[in-house]
Amino acid sequence: MPTYDFICNTCQNRFDLFLTYSEYGVKAVHCTHCNSKDVRRRMTKVRIARSEETRFESMADEFTGIEGMDGDPKALGQLMKKMGREVGEDLPAEFDEVVNRLEAGQSPEEIESILPDLGGDEAPGE
């Protein structure tokens, strides 16, 4: 679920809010500090700079579709491969290994049990 950043025009505090895509723009947003409705969406630098972050964000969007990919490790493997290319940096050897295993049809659980050091911080939070 996406987190939206807001700034309150009344008390100038910023706060985060979890909104689903369908709620965003529809649901009234109240400041979590003073309950004012006079809030604005905080524009992140991501929108302006065509930085790594922009790409990471669009990749993160793609990643939200992964939940529906359960049982389709090949699709997951292809997605990870694509992400690896977009990052364009040296990726750990484990990354290739995981992609190869996914493309070979192994489930993420299987791979995790074979490569227990994986995941950690990278695990998408729920």
Spatial distance between the Cα atoms of 62 and 60, rounded to a whole number of angstroms? 5
Point out which span in 3-11, 53-61, 64-72, 75-83 binds Zn ion (CB under 5 A).
Answer: 3-11
Hey, what amino acid is at 21?
Y
Nearer to Zn ion, 4 or 63 (CB): 4
Point out which span in 8-16, 58-66, 105-113, 117-125 binds Zn ion (CB under 5 A).
Answer: 8-16
Give the contacts of 63 (CB within 8 A, at least 6 positions apart).
Answer: 79, 124
Contacts (CB under 5 A) with Zn ion, residues 30-89: 31, 33-34, 36
Count residues binding Zn ion (CB under 5 A).
7
Q: Which of 5, 10, 40, 115: binder of Zn ion (CB under 5 A)? A: 10
Return the DSSP state at 36.
Answer: -
Spatial distance between the Cα atoms of 112 and 51, rounded to a whole number of angstroms? 31
